[in-house]
Amino acid sequence: MTAISAWFSRERKTPIAEWWWTVDRELLFALVALMGFGVLLSFAASPPVAERIGLGPWHFTQRHVLFCIPALAVMIAASMINARWVRVVALVTLIGGVLLLAMTLRYGVEVKGARRWVSFMGQSLQPIEFVKPALAIMSGWFISEQMKRKDVPGHLLAMASTGLVICLLLLQPDLGQTILVSVVYGGLLFLSGMSWLVIGVLGVAAVGLMVVAYTFFPHVARRIDSFISPETGDSYQAQRALESLLEGGWFGMGPGEGIAKRYLPDAHADFVFAAGASEFGILFCLMLVCLIGFIVIRALNLALSQQNLFNRLAASALAIQFGVQAAINLTVNLNLIPPKGMTLPFISYGGTSMIAIGLGMGLLLALTRRKPEETFATGLPIRSALKNG
């Protein structure tokens, strides 16, 4: 025990100690707690789905736990690197992710009328999950460079890279991820001080893209039509999700006692929140929403307190991305917007999503770490250092 504690001692100044006393532990612990809630909800929601398709009852739960291990490892490893390596990781990930995103159009696996996955040696990968955090960081870097040096076409590079990703997403098609990428880009423009006129023009363009998607992609049109008029389309999942949310009441029916979730096809994935509500109740779901809200607010506060412009913009973009993705999933579960195929971060089943979110949150933790010399110079824990300086 003494040997382990020595690794975290401020006096030793080891890499692990430096990381431990500079990383924001409140945010780190909140993210780990969210992973834990994800495992709990997987126990509640996954067995009926697995049994319905002829698998063992704990198939998805076991895989969910296995996905948590590399996700946590990636998050911690990414949180240990400096800002320069954050840019390197983001650049390499963005280039590789965009290439894979383009491959989905020709070689992707078609699911429900969309090509969003590529398969390698029997394993499926959704490239956009890794593209999202990388694009947020690189866009923040491009814009921050132009804000420091007017001769750098940072806004043009950010717009071009975001536009390329949006075009590839619309060709799949994937309207939900398109909206998420667009909102994060809009948030970066707002934080960088871009005029409201430009933001308004881009907003009108985004609405135009949605109209184009509705007009030319039957898959998108069907979802929107069935949301507006449930009796005219396939609203089965949305209706079962609402039933699952309502049947649990305030305190839930108890573990394994939910009924509506048994008829919910994606109870372990996109609708895990609704499935969990039937067993653990609305109060539990409100607590989960509060935890997600804490993560987003804490991350934004840390990001906006950064003196380095790149750190501030990139970390803010990652925080916005996490929050908007969670908000989209929750509003779909509440049947407030059409289904989007968007996972609830660290809660929904999915290896690609879990590891990619771990990478994004790890890079956010890296960008918001305090400088080692500041923490070790005060000789105080990170909480006291933040209060005093």
| Confidence at residue 388, expressed as pLDDT on a 0 to 100 scale | 40
- Its sign, for the CA torsion 114, 167, 233, 47, is positive
Query: Does 291 fall in a domain?
Result: yes
Question: What average pLDDT does range 123-142 have in this prediction?
Answer: 94
Tell me the three state secondary structure of residue 174.
Answer: coil
How many domains does the chain divide into? 1
Half-sphere exposure of 190 (CA within 13 A, CB side): 12
Write the DSSP assignment of 27-90 as a string of letters: HHHHHHHHHHHHHHHHHHHHHHHHHHTTS-TTHHHHHHHHHHHHHHHHHHHHHTS-HHHHHHHH
Query: Does 17 fall in a domain?
Result: no
Which of 34-38, 73-77, 261-265 is least confident? 261-265
Query: Does 47 fall in a domain?
Result: yes
DSSP 260: G
Pull the structure tokens for residue 383: 């909480």
pTM: 0.88
| Confidence at residue 383, expressed as pLDDT on a 0 to 100 scale | 39
Question: What average pLDDT does range 210-216 have in this prediction?
Answer: 74
Pull the structure tokens for residue 156: 């043009």
Query: Does 132 fall in a domain?
Result: yes
Pull the structure tokens for residue 171: 């060709």
| Confidence at residue 358, expressed as pLDDT on a 0 to 100 scale | 97
User: Residue 157 is which amino acid?
Assistant: L
Are residues 162 and 183 in contact, defined by beta-carbon separation less than 8 angstroms?
A: no
Please give the residue range of the domain that contains residue 182: 23-388
Contact residues for 163 (Cβ-Cβ < 8 A; gap 6+): none
| Confidence at residue 177, expressed as pLDDT on a 0 to 100 scale | 92
Task: Identify whether 173 is preceded by a cis peptide bond (ω within 30 of 0).
Answer: yes
Query: Does 3 fall in a domain?
Result: no
* Res. 263 pLDDT band, cuts 50 70 90: low
Query: Does 52 fall in a domain?
Result: yes
- Which of 191, 199, 203, 183 has the alpha carbon at shortest distance from 321? 183
| Confidence at residue 195, expressed as pLDDT on a 0 to 100 scale | 77
* Res. 185 pLDDT band, cuts 50 70 90: very high
Pull the structure tokens for residue 44: 């509640």
Write the DSSP assignment of 86-119 as a string of letters: HHHHHHHHHHHHHHHHHHHHHHPEEETTEEEEEE
Residues 313-366 have pLDDT tens digits of: 999 999 999 999 999 999 988 888 877 778 999 999 888 899 999 999 999 999
| Confidence at residue 381, expressed as pLDDT on a 0 to 100 scale | 42
**Percentage, residues of the chain above pLDDT 70:** 83
Question: What average pLDDT does range 214-225 have in this prediction?
Answer: 70
User: How many residues comprise the chain?
Assistant: 389
Exposed, middle or buried: residue 143 (CB in 10 Å: 0-12, 13-18, 19+)? buried
Query: Does 8 fall in a domain?
Result: no
- Which of 172, 171, 206, 170 has the alpha carbon at shortest distance from 186? 206
| Confidence at residue 379, expressed as pLDDT on a 0 to 100 scale | 43
Q: How far apart are CA 174 and CA 172, in angstroms?
A: 6
As a whole number, the mean pLDDT across the chain is 83
Please give the radius of gyration of the chain, using alpha carbons only, rounded to the nearest integer.
Answer: 21
Query: Does 11 fall in a domain?
Result: no
